[in-house]
Each structure stands twice: as structure tokens, then as C-alpha cells.
Structure 1
Amino acid sequence: MTDTKPKTRDELFAFLDSLGIKHSTKDHAPVFTVAESVSLRDEIPGGHTKNLFVKDKKDQFFLLTVEEHASVDLKTVHTLIGAASKVSFGKPEKLMEYLGVIPGSVTAFGAINDTGHNVTFVLDADLMKDEIINCHPLSNDATTSISSADLVRFMEATGHKPLVLKVTA
């Protein structure tokens, strides 16, 4: 296990800037659920995300980033994402170790902290139809808007090749 501290929001923004990726961030009270974040919708256009941190029986980890109201069938999604078995939710310790975030702050931007490439990132194809995608910038007290193409570019710059698959019902 590495002892590197997770990247901060400012380090994330500096990385995006270094890639020439346009992003904007709105600060707000911390939100822990999709229901709590719905009040922000009018202020922040684009596709809003929910993230499922899951693992299979071989301890392969996946982060599924989907539109906030979409449903994912956890009994069958393993057949789509290449998992070795049905998936279950990953433990908070692994979430912090691999993505540098706590439950409630899970985000596709966590790829910046997955330096060991322990996580396979899956972006739902329906979500990727949105021009703008909104994710937490490593903490749940803000929302960062980025283009869907730039989200993929960001992930590739962290050494991850995200799978763009339809994983929602």
C-alpha cells in the first residue's frame, strides 16, 4: 500500500488546467445522496452523476459512473464490465486507498488518485450523451462541470482507459 496523500481539489484543477481542459465548479453545502443534490439542478446544467464503487470476488474494483437517476442491475452488471463474478460494494477503506475519497464524495475524478491502476472506470453510454457532465471534485461540497469528451481525456491522462458501456437499465 502506498502512503501517498490523496490529491486535493486544487491539485485536480491544476491537472485539468495543465491538460487545457475547461471546467467550472460551484461550491455548495455537502451532499451525501442524489436526493440531497437535486436542489442544485437548476443552478448547474448538464448530466449529474452517481457513482457505484464495486468489486468482484477476485478483488477487481470498478467505478461505475452513471446518470443520477439511472438504475444499475447489480445482479447482472458483471457480465457487461468484465468482472469475474457478481459484484458487491467496495469497502470505504479501499475507496480511500484507491480513489482518495470517502463515501458520499465518490467521483470519476478519483482516477487522479488511482496511481496503482487498481480500478476499472466505467462511464455509462447514456450519461456520455450529455455534453456536460457534473462530478464532485474529490469532495461532496462542490460540483465540477466538464465536457464528456474532456472527462475521457482526463481519465486517459491519468493512465486509465475508461470503458464507455451501457450499464443502466
Structure 2
Amino acid sequence: MPHDPDSLLALLARHQIVAETFDHPPLHTVAESKALRGALPGLQTKNLFLRDGKKTYFLVSVAEDAPVNLKALRDPLGARGSLSFASPEALYEMLGVLPGSVSLLALVNDEARLVNVAVDRALMRAAAIGCHPLTNTRTTVLTPEALKTFLKVTGHRALEIDLPPPAPT
């Protein structure tokens, strides 16, 4: 049975992973997040749930303002074929969340470890990182070290990448 926000936060506490969670109105986009969330500490994330031509799945987490070039992400991720956004059905099946709630913390529901994880190095250099705890009505703030501990607890290893430059316009 997939975790819900409360069982995720209980897991963090059980493993002594220090995190602070804030409640707020539902946030569906980065723009809404900036307008509605208030003054949350830490660097907030933008998360992309992607798949390649061989149906390999990737969760890519970057700073909310970072421009993302999907074509240029292919090589750093080791993707085969072109990258595209995975379906909402695959997102729910693999990570137990709906669009708008995609987060590194959703890896708690990937018990089979089918999702490859990549995190922008710039995000991992932040003092704190804000992630949705399986719902877009809360933000949980962790240090990069706490996030690494969480990934270890879930059995995931994050590939730290330098985000490729944006596509030329």
C-alpha cells in the first residue's frame, strides 16, 4: 500500500531524518508555488517524471527556476532514445502521487526501485531543499544530508548531475 503524507512524515521521524513541514494552499505549478507559498525556507524544487524510448523512468529534481532542456538531459541521465514526460498513470503507479505532487519524497513508494533518480548539483549545494511530502498542500524542508539519508533509507541512489544549458531559442 503506498505511503500517504502522514506515514511518510512518520517514516522520516522514525529514521531521525530532520525535516520541517509547512501547510499551504494547493500548488500545481512553480508559478503558483511562488505566489502562494509565502516565505518557506530553502531552495524549492521542480520535479520531472520522465521516460525514455525504452520505457526507463527517471525522476529529475532541479531548483524551481532552473531551465530544463530535455534533449540535453538524455546523455547525463544515460537515457536511450528521446525523453518525454511519463503518463499520469505511470506516475501514480510508480510513485503513488498525482501530477502537481511530484517530489523526491515520492520515492518512498518506489519499493521496487524502478525509478532512476537524478538531482541537479546546484540543488544539493543549497542549505535546505523544499519538497512536497506526497501532497501539494504541504512542503517539507530538509538539508541535502537529510535528503541523502532519506534516499538511502528508500534504497535509491541519486545521480548528481550538472544541468545542461537551456535549449537555444
In structure 2, relative to structure 1, the CA distance for the partners of 1:168 and 1:17 (3 Å cut) is farther
The answer to whether the aligner puts 1:29 opposite 2:11 as a matched pair is no
The residue type equivalent to 2:159 in the other structure is L
Pick the aligned partner of 1:128 from 118, 124, 128: 124
Pick the aligned partner of 1:44 from 13, 20, 40: 40
Q: 1:112-145 CA deviation, whole Å, 9 max, x = no partner? A: 0001111001111011110100000000001110
The answer to whether the aligner puts 1:20 opposite 2:16 as a matched pair is yes
Pick the aligned partner of 1:165 from 155, 161, 164: 161
Question: Could you tell me whether the CA contact under 8 Å between 2:128 and 2:144 is conserved in 1?
Answer: yes
Aligned to 1:69: 65
The percent identity for this pair of structures is: 42
Question: Any residues of structure 2 matched to 1:90-169 within 5 Å, and which?
Answer: 90-169=86-165
TM-score, normalising length from structure 1? 0.94
- Uncovered stretches (5+) of structure 2, i.e. residues with no partner: none
SS of the counterpart of 2:139?
strand
Q: Which moved more, 1:38-47 or 1:65-74?
A: 38-47
Distance 2:123 2:164 in 1: 10
TM-score, normalising length from structure 2? 0.94
Q: Which moved more, 1:40-49 or 1:126-135?
A: 40-49
Q: 1:81-139 CA deviation, whole Å, 9 max, x = no partner? A: 11112200000001001100000010000110001111001111011110100000000
Distance 1:36 1:86 in 2: 29
Question: Could you tell me whether the CA contact under 8 Å between 1:99 and 1:111 is conserved in 2?
Answer: yes
The answer to whether the aligner puts 1:87 opposite 2:87 as a matched pair is no
